[in-house]
Amino acid sequence: MRRLEYKNALITEATCGQGVAEAARFIEEGATVVLADVLDDPGKQTAARSMKEDGTGSIINISSVAGLSGAPIYHAYGATKWAVRGMTESAAMELAPHGVRVNSVHPSIIDTEMLKPFGSNIETIERRIPLGRVAEATEVAEVVLFLASDEASDCTGHKFVVDGAKVA
């Protein structure tokens, strides 16, 4: 049986980068996938309510390593990622009694369209990552897939980092 057989997934921002990779992996593993806009709050609330009623589910919020440590110059971006982290932890405590797990994934620099403006400066960026390279969107998708699966049945309220040891 595939890892997400008979499971439903709501994936926001699935039109580019990480969202595309996550949606593709979920479909490969048997999930029924609904794509939504990040601003579709009623849809997310409906999904959470349905999970509570079913007594099972997994919510995975995508944040950033900017939600784990300070980021000079990028104050607003960092603040939003810290907020995702805080909401994840609060929701995990609120929903755990209903069998719903909530975790966050904190990637560093990922090879997506967002990197194109850096052009040839990518080598400079890679030198600041201990593994010496940026991650692929598919690598983040594998972490998200694990968290959505029953293999992560005891994981809730945690931060999963995909960063090549950048914030270690």
Residue 77 annotated in active site: yes
Closest CA to 143 of 26, 15, 13, 16: 26
Taking the C-alpha atoms of residue 82 and residue 84, their distance in angstroms, rounded to an integer, is 5
* Tokens read off for 10: 């709501």
Closest CA to 60 of 30, 25, 28, 111: 25
Closest CA to 143 of 63, 54, 83: 63
Taking the C-alpha atoms of residue 4 and residue 136, their distance in angstroms, rounded to an integer, is 22
Cβ atoms within 10 Å of 102's Cβ, excluding its own: 26
Catalytic site residue from 53, 54, 77, 131: 77
- Contact of 108 with 162, CB cutoff 8 Å: yes
Give me the active site residues, please: 77
